[in-house]
Amino acid sequence: MLLISKMTNKCSCQHAPSQLRTRAKAQIQLLKLKELIKMKSRQLSSFYTLWAGATLTLFCSLLLMDLFSSCSGTMTTVDLDGVVADMVSISLNATVNLSPGIPIATRTLILLVCLLVVAWSHREKNTVPGPSFCLGLGPLLSYLRFIWTGIGTASNYYNKNYGDIVRVWINGEETLILSRPSAVNHVLKNGNYTSRFGSKPGLSCLGMNERGIIFNNNVALWKKIRTYFAKALTGPNLQETVEVCVSSTQTHLDNLDSLTHVDVLSLLRCTVVDISNRLFLDVPLNEKELLLKIHRYFETWQTVLIKPDIYFKFGWIHQRHKTAAQELQDAIGSLVEQKRRQMEQADKLDINFTADLIFAQNHGELSAENVRQCVLEMVIAAPDTLSISLFFMLLLLKQNPHVELQLLQEIDTVIGDRQLQNGDLQKLQVLESFINECLRFHPVVDFTMRRALSDDVIDGYRVPKGTNIILNMGRMHQKEFFHKADKFSLENFQKNPPRRYFQPFGSGPRACVGKHIAMVMMKSILATLLSQYSICTHEGLTLDCLPQTNNLSQQPMEQHEKAEQLSMRFLPRQRGSWQIP
């Protein structure tokens, strides 16, 4: 602007320099502008920035040309043809021949078109593969795909079509979808990715914004809260988990009304909610009522997580979601207060997860809202993931009768006629391989979400601060390392795979803190169930034909017209009887 101002003053002056000198200066300035474009084109990775820089340079060039033209009617026109050709050659290596007689308006239009082509075709060598920007249509379409099909389904689509490192957009923000083991491992191990992304109004609606552990993006507070979860989910507390799991599973099996038409999903959900209550809360509750509220909360979670801010401007929509989330928050709050009264009246305190949080609140270390959210997330984790995982495992077991036979033989050999004990877990190697293969082949949660806290480089690609990351580990598990990666086979776990190739619970600073207790719970429930019953699924029911959604997690569609096929038949079996019905 200073350059333009100076030249304007020179043109308006009565004693202007000679036309030749003015023309030479103008050409020098235009050459400088041309070099600026070349330099910026090497640096810019954003379409917006490239187009804005090129348009600004074009504007300055045209303004200079108009100013010199107005200085004298006989002044020779500045030759922009070489500049235009050089500008276009930045990415296209093309040339444009403009006749000096073409009007300035026409020149402007041609230059705009050329610069648009330059910007459109501009690619850096390290540009991440992905859908085209296409004048803003690409970000819109990719975002709509995530909204319409779900995060998991959309992530699989883009990895399938563009490769194991893909750039897309979610709510206008650049997002990388990674399924390459080296890239996934880099993000999981790096403290630069301890934050997650999601709609702030949506997380606030759920009570997760800077609360709890799952989507708490206040890293300092998250680290503090994680210590309470780690204390409850690891170490000595694991010792009582087997006994609680066996007791709860047996109780719910004994209370079945019928063995010929078992709602397995309901059975598993009630069992894991009861286990969670006994381990972490220990107050009387109505399992089915709580499960209904958990289901509505989870549906709200899936709906609002990546919605745009404008979505929450509609009061009636926001209120509907807020009400669904508040139902569960109020229920958990009531249970926490019930636990508080129980502690005040107890002669001897049994310190569990909730009691520990209440003590922290009493000492001013945590707010009441944070205590409620932590208990809520501890209670909902199992029904949303572990119970569905167990359901998928039972389906895979019936699809692979030779695996079922191996499992029954091992269970009868290790456990015999007694109940499962802590010491038995390490001996159930076939069961562990079966669980791992199920988590690899058909995981409930097949991805995790992160956000870059600072600039980084992943496998040669520059990752600016604030970039969203989706780690598509489910796809990675079916494409890398394993001997029969595209098939269900226990041979895939004859040897323990390197951690970088098998990440069912993640790793690094933000790994699933409950991964050890989850394995204990799955082993205990399956061993207790399969030692007493053979499972018969509905005819034709397989994972391939099971209607499912894959948003935050893979879930069977229970409202589908074939939902009645989700029920199973339990046949009592004798120990040592390995005939598969």
Per-residue pLDDT of the chain (581 residues; tens, 9 = 90+): 343 444 444 444 444 445 556 565 656 665 555 555 544 443 334 444 444 444 444 444 544 444 444 444 443 444 434 443 444 344 434 334 444 555 666 667 677 666 665 555 544 445 899 999 988 899 999 999 999 999 999 999 999 999 999 999 999 999 999 999 999 999 999 999 999 999 999 999 999 999 999 999 999 999 999 999 999 998 877 889 999 999 999 999 999 988 999 999 999 999 999 999 999 999 999 999 999 999 999 999 999 999 999 999 888 888 889 999 999 999 999 999 999 999 999 888 889 999 999 999 999 999 999 999 999 999 998 887 999 999 999 999 999 999 999 999 999 999 988 999 999 999 999 999 999 999 999 999 999 999 999 999 999 999 999 999 999 999 999 887 898 999 999 999 998 888 889 999 999 999 999 999 999 999 999 999 999 999 999 888 889 888 899 999 999 988 766 667 789 999 998 776 655 55
CB–CB of 213/229 below 8 Å?
A: yes
Among 44, 30, 149, 18, residue whose Cα is nearest residue 464: 44
**Phi and psi at residue 542, to the nearest 5°:** -135, 170
Q: Which two tokens stand for residue 347?
A: 């002669």
Q: Which two tokens stand for residue 79?
A: 């030759």
Q: Distance of CA 61 to CAs 81, 93, 104, 155, 347, Å?
A: 12, 21, 11, 44, 85
Predicted TM-score (pTM) of this structure: 0.80
CB–CB of 166/159 below 8 Å?
A: yes
Distance separating alpha carbons of residues 254 and 538, to the nearest angstrom? 22
Residue 284 burial (C-beta neighbours within 10 Å; 0-12, 13-18, 19+): exposed
Strand partners, 274: none
CB–CB of 487/187 below 8 Å?
A: no
Distance separating alpha carbons of residues 262 and 185, to the nearest angstrom? 41
